[in-house]
Amino acid sequence: MESEKRWHSETLLKLNEAETQLGQLNSSSADVDTANNDVSLLQEKLSSKNSEIAQLSAEKEELQQKLSEPNSNSDSLQEEVTELKGQSEESQIAEAASQSTDKKFTSI
């Protein structure tokens, strides 16, 4: 009888220890599940950020192309301004010559 009580006590003790270990394993399993969910969320955020980076890179490239285009436009505008200045100077010279000629005729 005494040995049965001892066996029963030892069995209960082992059963309690096994239940404690099982609880710890379940807790660890829950921690792993939580960590896996966190990793999934972080992967989604990373994917989203990578998409944003790709979009911003494309916009940057487009803006750089637009910035390089006005330089050629600027060059042609500069040529046009120079041409107009030349025409303006020519017309001023012609007008001055005309006025000079008019003065000569009025003084005669």
Summarize pLDDT for 6-64 with one digit per residue, the tens.
898 999 999 999 999 999 988 999 999 999 999 999 999 999 999 999 999 999 999 99
Report how far residue 2's alpha carbon sits from residue 18's, in angstroms, rounded to the nearest whole number.
24
3-state helix, strand, coil in the chain (%, to 5): 100, 0, 0
Distance of CA 13 to the CA centre of its chain: 61
Supply the DSSP symbol for 108: -
Predicted local distance difference test score (pLDDT) of residue 92: 79
Predicted local distance difference test score (pLDDT) of residue 74: 67
- State the pLDDT confidence band at 103, using cuts at 50, 70 and 90: low
What mean pLDDT do residues 64-92 have?
77
Report how far residue 17's alpha carbon sits from residue 24's, in angstroms, rounded to the nearest whole number.
11
